[in-house]
Structure 1
Amino acid sequence: MIKAILIDDEENSISSLKEKLLAHCTQVKIIACCNNAAKGIEAIDNLQPDIVFLDIEMPVMNGFVMLQQLTYKNFELIFTTAYDHYAIKAIRYSALDYLVKPIEVEDLKAAVLKAEEKRNHAYPNPQIELLVEQLINKKNSFTRIAIPTMEGLHFIKVEDIIYLEASSNYTHIFTSEKKKYIASHTLKDFEDMLPPEIFLRIHNSYIINKNFTEKYIRGEGGQVVLSNGVTLDVAKRKKSEFLKAIGY
């Protein structure tokens, strides 16, 4: 059984989530329901759950602030929110799950299954650690990103990414450390996450870190040569945007 704690200031939201879990996720045992962050902290630290469903927007202390107060962090975390807003970017950088209210049953089942598959470590969840790190730094651009791959999660510095290449529903990520990662996210997912002042979509298949640009070769769209020696095509429709971004 997976021990779960539900934290939400809205009673209707807790009741609805509880009902769906009992009906559709029988492997989950609900060990506590908390209507504010302070009670949530106490329940998590005392009961040490396997999974926590956490509302982001709560009065007095929101879900993000609550995470920074925790001692026990060895659990899988699924955020619940009524808003698809700024907070989602931080969550996605950490490769954590979130469910937008009203929560769909199929989305809930998928999130629980993913959390169940990841319950194999006995140390603070590195994704929560990464999220808390970003929140404490309070930076608009994130320094590290969690990359979900077939093997698990890789945590890499954003500044080390040279370029990303689309491959169907996957993305190949190439870094300055001469490493390649195959991420189970689309290139569009990364375009939405990565800071646009540094990362440029130059083609349907490529996003580059402009800091690694070595040379531009003229042409209809042209080509860009990166610091690792790779030459990539620039789409004609992206040419003027690219040249402006590199100050050409």
Structure 2
Amino acid sequence: MVKAVIVDDEIHARESLTRMLNVYYPSITVIGKAESIKSAYDLIKNQCPDIVFLDMQLADGHGFDLLKMFDNIPFKVIIISAYQEYAVKAFKFSAVDYLLKPVDPDDLVKALDVALAQALNDKQQERLNALIENTRNIGKKDKLLALRNSDGTYVVNTSEIVRCQSDGNATIFYLVDGNQVRVNRTLKEFDEMLNECGFLRCHQSHLVNQRYIEKISRFPSSLITMNNGDVIPVSFRKRKSI
């Protein structure tokens, strides 16, 4: 049995999520509900749940205030938010499991499948810390990006990424320290996330960080040379804009 706690200051939201879990994920048992940071902290300390559904906006503070009360977080966290625009990007950058209100049953099942498949030692603490930092830095160019793969989670600053390269349905990240990280998400997803951070899609298979471009060649073919020596092709339709 997987034990869950729901933290939300709206009674109808707590009851709705409980009903959905009973129908769509019966292996999860809701062992308690809380509407405030204090009551949630006491409940979690006493009941030791496996997973906590945490609304970001509570009557007595922010969901982050609750998380900061734990030196180590010994439970899975799924964030719930009613704020779609700025929040979604922060969640995606931080690779945090989240649900948007009103909660859709399909999204609930997907989030739980991902959350429960990951071990507790997959650097959830670092991902949540990255989320807190990214939420503080809305609108700033550099952000923390959590790269999740089968080996675990790597949290890097976007300023540490030289370039990204498509590898089928995966993406390889080339970092300034020479390391590479392969993530099972498409380059298109990261292009949408990183374009506001100074990244340039120069080719169907390549995304480059403009701060590390050393040279752009036009003839005999269009190429971008990065300051680490990597040479990246520029597609025909991207030549003019670049």
Name the TM-score class by shorter chain: 0.7 to 0.9
Shift of 1:173: 1.0
2:71 is the counterpart of 1:67? no
Q: SS in structure 2 opposite 1:43?
A: helix
| Residue aligning to 2:206 | 206
User: Cα 1:93–1:6, aligned 2, differ >3 Å: closer, same or farther?
Assistant: same
User: Cα 1:192–1:36, aligned 2, differ >3 Å: closer, same or farther?
Assistant: farther
| Residue aligning to 2:227 | 227
| Residue aligning to 1:245 | none
Shift of 1:114: 1.9
Aligned 1:10-49 pairs, distance under 5 A: 10-49=10-49
Q: SS in structure 1 opposite 2:92?
A: helix
Shift of 1:71: 4.1
Shift of 1:123: 8.3
- Higher mean C-alpha displacement, 30-39 vs 1-10: 30-39
Contact 1:74 1:123 in 2 (8 A): no
Aligned 1:188-199 pairs, distance under 5 A: 188-194=188-194, 196-199=196-199
User: Cα 1:238–1:150, aligned 2, differ >3 Å: closer, same or farther?
Assistant: same
Per-residue CA distance 1:50-101 (angstroms, 9 max, x = gap): 2111122334413234433444522211112233221222221221111123
Shift of 1:224: 0.4
C-alpha distance in structure 1 between counterparts of 2:195 and 2:67, whole Å: 24
Q: SS in structure 1 opposite 2:26?
A: coil
| RMSD of aligned alpha carbons | 2.7
C-alpha distance in structure 1 between counterparts of 2:47 and 2:123, whole Å: 16
C-alpha distance in structure 1 between counterparts of 2:45 and 2:122, whole Å: 15
C-alpha distance in structure 2 between counterparts of 1:96 and 1:217, whole Å: 40
Shift of 1:128: 1.9
C-alpha distance in structure 1 between counterparts of 2:79 and 2:114, whole Å: 14
Shift of 1:219: 4.5
Amino acid at match of 1:235: S
Q: SS in structure 2 opposite 1:102?
A: coil
Q: How many residues align?
A: 242
Please give the TM-score of this superposition, normalised by the length of structure 1: 0.84
User: Cα 1:140–1:58, aligned 2, differ >3 Å: closer, same or farther?
Assistant: farther
Percent of pairs with identical residues? 29
- Higher mean C-alpha displacement, 170-179 vs 142-151: 142-151
Please give the TM-score of this superposition, normalised by the length of structure 2: 0.86
Per-residue CA distance 1:84-122 (angstroms, 9 max, x = gap): 221222221221111123323232222222222223439
Aligned 1:59-208 pairs, distance under 5 A: 59-121=59-121, 125-135=125-135, 140-194=140-194, 196-208=196-208
- Higher mean C-alpha displacement, 210-219 vs 106-115: 106-115
Q: SS in structure 2 opposite 1:111?
A: helix
| Unmatched runs of 5 consecutive residues or more in structure 2 | none
Contact 1:215 1:224 in 2 (8 A): yes
User: Cα 1:138–1:217, aligned 2, differ >3 Å: closer, same or farther?
Assistant: closer
Q: SS in structure 2 opposite 1:201?
A: strand
Shift of 1:212: 1.3
Contact 2:142 2:159 in 1 (8 A): no
Contact 1:75 1:125 in 2 (8 A): no
